[in-house]
Amino acid sequence: MRFILDFLRQRPNRREAELAYLSEAVSRYDLERREREIAGGKFATLNG
């Protein structure tokens, strides 16, 4: 939830968005899934 609120306040650069997204992981499995999503280009449209 914090990730969404932070994202809506201001558009972060790609690295900030990736780190915020990873920090919201609730388990090791969730973290690994999120890492795969990022590697697949989830935030590729953001600058930075």
> Which of the pair, 29 or 44, is modelled with greater confidence?
29
- Token pair 């972060």 is found at 12
* pLDDT tens column, 4-42: 777 667 777 899 899 999 999 999 999 999 999 999 999
Number of domains in the chain: 1
Residues 6+ apart with CB under 8 A from 14: 43, 44, 46, 47, 48
pLDDT value for 1: 63
Q: Domain for residue 44, yes or no?
A: no
Please check the confidence at residue 48 and state whether its pLDDT lies above 70: no
Residues of the domain holding 19: 2-39
Residues 6+ apart with CB under 8 A from 17: 7, 43, 46
Q: Domain for residue 31, yes or no?
A: yes
